[in-house]
Structure 1
Amino acid sequence: MDTTNLADLYDVPALDWETIRTGLDAGFPQAPGEGGPDRHTCWLTTLDADGGPHVTGIGALWAEGAFWFETGERTRKGRNIARDPRCALSVATTTFDLVVRGRAEMVTDREVVAARAADWAAGGWPCEVDGSGAALTAPFSAPSAGTPPWRVYRITPESATALQTVEPGGATTWRF
């Protein structure tokens, strides 16, 4: 891992990736009233066909060292990822803001899809694995996710930048 301290100018030490990862492992609820300032919203940026950014709020989670989200294959983000998997995901937590860059990969492994369904269900979204075993269904999802079935995607970080929002502050980029 290559670490770049973006706060050298202020004599603030580099942040520690393990501290950030521990914060992610603790979870970041996305229901209103459960995060800072009022909730934690994840923003996914994918690339449109013309190379322009497409940014949309999503209900992501962190598990197994990666970010996970779900969407329909025919949604704009689903089509963008199928064409070009490069993307970025950002989230503001109580103690740090984070942007992770990587490539989104559709996951169809039945055990992994079931594990993510259980994670989302534990967080309050009543999803379950559909009849195919490789996608999700539920009584509802975000309108931007399209209609079921919803595919599960993993973003494994290639690089990340964090800004610590509590004292002593700091900003660091990591390349994995």
Structure 2
Amino acid sequence: MAEKEPRTALDERYSSERAAAVAWPDAVTRLARAEVYWLTTVRPDGRPHVTPLIGVWADGALHFCTGADERKAKNLRGNPHVALTTGCNSLAEGYDLVVEGDAVAVRDETRLRRLAAAWEAKYGSAWHFDVRDGAFVNPEAGAALVFEVAPRTAFGFGKGEPYSQTRWQFP
């Protein structure tokens, strides 16, 4: 997937006077380096479900995996709209990111092999996956479906001085 160039805007209502909008490539660097993301899906009854997970940034999207019988996979069968967040637990420093979009299953095995290599490169050999039948396979953990979330809208929150809120909207 080609990287799309978003419309970038600083929301001055939530930003310090000397704040500036963060460029999307800088946000992508932060997204790629993050180790833990929080995924929000929607249960069939409309209640949110939030869970931490690991993932990789590749091909212009965040990718995560989950077992077919896990709550998040069940939720995605009925509603693909998700939010992925990452950042830090500090108010006075750091940068938080929110990516909103639709979770789309990745089934192409050539692409899955590239993603499996990216997982292992980022998280180490404990996160080695083989690829079979359009899914990741780990001998100890079983099969995992892989999803990509191309950003539709993303938000960045700079904390500390200057505070900032950047919004990226994708065509």
The Cα of 1:105 is off from its aligned counterpart by 0.6
Per-residue CA deviations over 1:8-46 (Å, capped at 9, x if unaligned) read 563222222222123334x22x3xxxxxxxxxx210000
* Contact 1:3–1:173 (8 Å) recurs in 2: yes
Q: For residues 165 and 89 of structure 1, what CA distance do their matches in structure 2 show?
A: 19
Q: Match for 2:29 among 22, 34, 39?
A: 22
Select 1:2's aligned residue among 2, 7, 13.
7
1:21-75 deviation digits (Å, cap 9, x = unpaired): 23334x22x3xxxxxxxxxx21000000111110011112211211100011111
For 1:55, the equivalent position in structure 2 comes to 50
| C-alpha RMSD over aligned residues | 2.0
Residue in structure 1 matched with residue 3 of structure 2 by the alignment? none
Residue 161 of structure 2 corresponds to residue 131 of structure 1: no
SS at match of 2:75: helix
Change (3 A) 1:15 1:131: closer
Number of corresponding residues: 157
Q: 1:125-161 deviations in whole A, cap 9, x for unaligned?
A: 33222432x11122445xxxxxx21011101100001
The answer to whether structure 1 residue 116 and structure 2 residue 115 are counterparts is yes
- Which ranges in structure 1 are unaligned for 5 or more consecutive residues? 31-40, 142-147
Range with greater deviation from structure 2 (119-128 or 156-165):
119-128
| Secondary structure of 1:79 counterpart | helix
Q: For residue 166 of structure 1, report the CA deviation from its aligned partner.
A: 5.4
Is 1:82–2:81 an aligned residue pair? no
* TM-score, normalised via structure 2 length: 0.82
- More displaced 10-residue stretch of structure 1: 160-169 or 83-92: 160-169
Name the stretch that deviates more: 56-65 or 108-117. 56-65
Unaligned 5+ runs, structure 2: 1-5
Contact 2:112 2:131 in 1 (8 A): no
Identity of aligned residues (%): 32
